[in-house]
């Protein structure tokens, strides 16, 4: 249906442009369903898409609204850089403002760290949903800590992907297959968005230019907020649950392909 819409919308003006848009739309479709199911967008789509977007801009200058290949390539490169810079800045700001989640537990709650996941009293969280970068750290102050070969009392505990600190002792977490701690609070790292979203927006910028990056960011934020709040209000999702952002970027980019430039002309006269 999207390919048909692309042909009806652009086929009369340029067959080459229509084919590029169909290629781009197919990437949006793949990224959307992969992100919904796995909470990732593969580099084959993001990094590969950025390269293909730059090449398509050089081959079809009309994609960037230019008449020369040099001008189109420069616009594509500008869009790629804008996508990286803008979304990465938001990622870093989000990490600074919302990078820690404080979880309050009942007094003397027992939590368990295994080799692959963290067991809280009410849920189990795989480590890949906690650690997104090497600097992420789980922090707690334990009344007691039990290891297979030793015990601690009244000590701080810090767990990073590569290191474990219990009081003054530092060890390799790969050598600690099981750890139990009693505490009333734990602080978990979290992300405002993933690096996949940064690379994904770079690919969109490479295909569509910097104006599409700004448009996609604004519209996807609105769509994602409406969907997220609706799911929370209807009880279908907890406020702290992860929400894939890629599908809303995809929808916003698709809207730009068919309507975005006309809306910019309508509201800004250019």
Distance of CA 14 to the CA centre of its chain: 34
Q: What is the pLDDT of residue 61?
A: 95
What are 137's two structure tokens? 């750290």
For each of the chain's 270 residues, which pLDDT tens digit applies? Answer: 999 999 999 998 899 999 999 999 999 999 999 999 988 899 999 999 999 999 999 999 999 989 999 999 999 999 999 999 998 898 888 777 777 888 899 988 999 999 999 999 988 988 877 887 788 899 999 999 999 888 999 999 999 999 999 999 999 998 999 999 999 999 998 776 778 899 999 999 999 999 999 999 999 999 989 998 888 888 877 666 667 899 999 999 999 999 987 776 666 655
Q: What is the pLDDT of residue 241?
A: 65
Q: What is the pLDDT of residue 270?
A: 54
Taking alpha carbons only, the member of 100, 59, 51, 106 closest to residue 80 is 51
What are the CA-CA distances from residue 135 to residues 30, 38, 99 (Å)? 31, 23, 11
> Is 0.85 topped by the overall pTM?
no
Q: What is the pLDDT of residue 240?
A: 60
Q: Give the DSSP per-residue string, the chain.
A: -HHHHHHHHHTTT-HHHHHHHHHHHHHHHHHHHHHHHHS---HHHHHHHHHHHHHHHHH-GGGGT-SSHHHHHHHHHHHHHHHHHHHHHHHHHHHHHH-EEEEEEEEEEEEEE-SSEEE-SS-EEEGGGT-SSTT--EEEEEEEEE-SS-EEEEEEEEE-SS-EEETTEEE-GGG---EEEEEEEEEEE--SS-HHHHHHHHHHHHHH-HHHHHHHHHHHHHHHHHHHHHHHHTTSS-TTS----HHHHHHHHHHHHHTHHHHHHHHH--
Q: What is the pLDDT of residue 114?
A: 93
Helix axes 260-268, 246-258, angle to 10 degrees: 70
Taking alpha carbons only, the member of 120, 101, 105 closest to residue 183 is 105
Categorise residue 186: left if φ over 0, alpha if ψ from -120 to 50, beta otherwise: beta
- Using the structure block, give the residue that is written with the tokens 């442009």: 17
Q: What is the pLDDT of residue 191?
A: 72
What are 152's two structure tokens? 């601690």
Residues 6+ apart with CB under 8 A from 47: 199, 203
């Amino acid at each position: 249906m999207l390919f048909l819409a692309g042909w009806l919308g652009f086929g009369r003006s340029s067959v080459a442009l229509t084919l590029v848009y169909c290629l781009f739309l197919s990437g949006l479709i793949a990224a959307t369903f992969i992100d919904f199911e796995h909470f990732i967008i593969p580099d084959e789509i993001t990094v590969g898409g950025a390269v293909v977007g730059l090449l398509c801009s050089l081959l079809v200058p009309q994609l960037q609204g230019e008449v020369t290949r040099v001008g189109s390539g420069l616009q594509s490169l500008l869009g790629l850089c804008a996508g990286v810079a803008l979304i990465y800045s938001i990622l870093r700001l989000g990490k600074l403002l919302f990078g820690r989640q404080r979880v309050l537990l009942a007094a003397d709650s027992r939590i368990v760290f295994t080799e692959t996941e963290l067991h809280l009293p009410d849920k189990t969280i795989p480590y890949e949903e906690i650690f997104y970068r090497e600097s992420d750290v789980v922090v707690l102050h334990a009344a007691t800590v039990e290891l297979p070969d030793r015990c601690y009392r009244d000590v701080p505990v810090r767990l990073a992907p590569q290191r474990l600190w219990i009081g003054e002792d530092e060890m390799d977490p790969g050598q600690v297959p099981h750890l139990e701690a009693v505490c009333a609070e734990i602080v978990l790292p979290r992300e405002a968005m993933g690096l996949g979203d940064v690379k994904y927006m770079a690919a969109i910028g490479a295909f569509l230019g910097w104006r599409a990056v700004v448009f996609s960011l604004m519209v996807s934020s609105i769509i994602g907020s409406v969907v997220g709040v609706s799911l929370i209000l209807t009880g279908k999702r907890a406020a702290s649950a992860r929400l894939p952002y890629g599908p809303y970027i995809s929808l916003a980019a698709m809207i730009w392909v068919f309507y975005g430039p006309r809306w910019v002309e309508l509201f800004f006269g250019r």
